[in-house]
Structure 1
């Protein structure tokens, strides 16, 4: 089985291609240029692999939470490519993908992930790996750092820039965390790793039915908030 994966949930843009034998990944610091860069990255990866969309078995995408614009770009491109090639889609939670990166890189099996959600909020979730798959301990939410629900046990690994942006959150988890990596972000290769068994199990949707996971449903800021530097 060969799949394509896309992510544009942060300032990083990534695409991955592969299957059970591993994934080739292309990653760029795209800033606000995801819509310009993602399709050329996909085309380059397909060309390098000597394959085409018609030979793939599905497309995965980082469903969210994350940048509203980025989530729409990744989902929209996945839908367009999926419709054109008659491929089914799997949306993967970005925070779960961060946990998967921590597992692959460090062997972590209890991971809490946090991304800066702007507006003085953080996207947060906690997952535990049972040896086969990630189990959701705390579902992805958007909340003020002081209000995020935390695991009641210790021995956790923390990942993501949300902990470095909000010192209040880092202080709250300090007694529960044994190791951390604030540099981990959602990546297409991790998204592909989580999507592959779901495709194999038939846990996919038609391209028309794919939707982002926004978590926070406010999609705009006021003129006053923009003037103050607020962003979603």
Structure 2
């Protein structure tokens, strides 16, 4: 029997939960206090009651989780300190859980594929905000938008501006993705969270209790183990709540206003590409098995020695291959590309635009996305390598325009009707633009 506890102390009321895992059969018990303002005094009594009801003592606990925040500053510090103390005294692992992720988990059943926007009340007309992706009914634990602090009135407009970029990066279709807005900020500031269209639904608006936290934490522990005690700290996003006396005397009044998040250069480039695609009623998404007939039809015309359907199918099945389609509003394949991520380089294995559509910039749009995909990876390689026929002047001109440099020649690499032709080997280090 595994006994895992969680402490939730980031909201107005405290709660503790006990998860018991008996050979894969899990049960969760919860104790809640709504005695606002006395969270710190309530946590340990709640835990004692919970353990006593289960006929356990603290020495029977195998792991502890806590709400890392964001949330009330004092409550976060208390929860973190208690979790560290229990973990250190009992020599058990500790797992921090984001309050925003817990709220997203409460609402993940509302959509199958899309994004959950979580907004938690931070008081003073401000919200703690994060965005999570749901893919095939599964919530991804790494947020699309990491926690930020924002004015409540700015959230919906800013989120809608960012949706094309998030969809592009996450492989979603902007027109078919579902969007859920959740969190207790919706109850606190209802006038600021009006749904823009029918693609949006309202999720859970209650703050997640410790029973949600303990289920999340136990799954994390089973996959990743516990966190370092020394590195544990509350997540508190608000750095400033008032102007100093000097600032007020200089004419600043009211409370400091939170600025919109600043996009990094990569995010700006992603936004730019997403906007350009939408302006032309185009989109880029992962290639699917159902696309293969259209891909093969283009491949057989575009290349002298085309890939077979089996080769494309194998690439779709291989974890290190990344396959992309440029499509129109009707989801017709206009162009495609296949990348292979190897230990030291990303190989552009094949890229083609439907011959009747060449010269319209589709190849450049797709190639720019391939580079942004590489740049967006958490770790390298950040160098893309490709081959091009010596005689393919249009392709060579495009690669030169985008900064590819020749590093070699492969003699007689390509077949032609009249024999064989050399290939120029080109590469580009996209990390040079990653932080520009």
TMscore range, shorter length: 0.7 to 0.9
* Distance in 2 separating the partners of 1:212 and 1:14: 17
* Distance in 2 separating the partners of 1:166 and 1:49: 40
Q: Which residue of the partner structure matches residue 11 of structure 2?
A: 10
Asked if the contact 1:11/1:32 (under 8 Å) is kept, the reply is yes
Cα 1:207/1:52, change in 2 over 3 Å: farther
* Distance in 1 separating the partners of 2:211 and 2:244: 38
Q: Which residue of the partner structure matches residue 215 of structure 2?
A: 193
Q: 1:56-95 alignment to 2 at 5 Å?
A: 56-95=61-100
The structure number with the bigger radius of gyration is 2
Q: Which residue of the partner structure matches residue 159 of structure 2?
A: 150
Q: Which runs of 5 or more structure 1 residues have no equivalent in the other structure?
A: none
Q: 1:110-149 alignment to 2 at 5 Å?
A: 110-130=115-135, 131=138, 133-148=140-155, 149=158
* Distance in 2 separating the partners of 1:136 and 1:201: 18
Higher relative contact order (CA 8 A, sep 6+): 1
TM-score normalised to the size of structure 2?
A: 0.47
* Length, aligned pairs only: 223
Q: Which residue of the partner structure matches residue 163 of structure 1?
A: 186
The alignment partner of 1:204 has SS state of: coil
Alpha-carbon distance, 1:107 to partner: 4.8
Q: Which runs of 5 or more structure 2 residues have no equivalent in the other structure?
A: 164-173, 249-253, 256-436
* Distance in 1 separating the partners of 2:74 and 2:95: 19
Cα 1:158/1:167, change in 2 over 3 Å: same
Alpha-carbon distance, 1:222 to partner: 7.0
1:204 aligns with 2:226: yes
**CA deviation map 1:169-206 (0-9, x unaligned):** 303x4435223332x20211111111112212234224
**CA deviation map 1:3-35 (0-9, x unaligned):** 110011111211000144131011121210011
**CA deviation map 1:156-175 (0-9, x unaligned):** 2222221222245303x443
Q: Which residue of the partner structure matches residue 275 of structure 2?
A: none
After superposition, the CA RMSD in angstroms is 2.7
The alignment partner of 1:10 has SS state of: coil
* Distance in 2 separating the partners of 1:58 and 1:163: 33
Alpha-carbon distance, 1:87 to partner: 1.5
Runs of at least 4 residues off by over 4 Å: 106-109, 220-225
Alpha-carbon distance, 1:2 to partner: 2.2
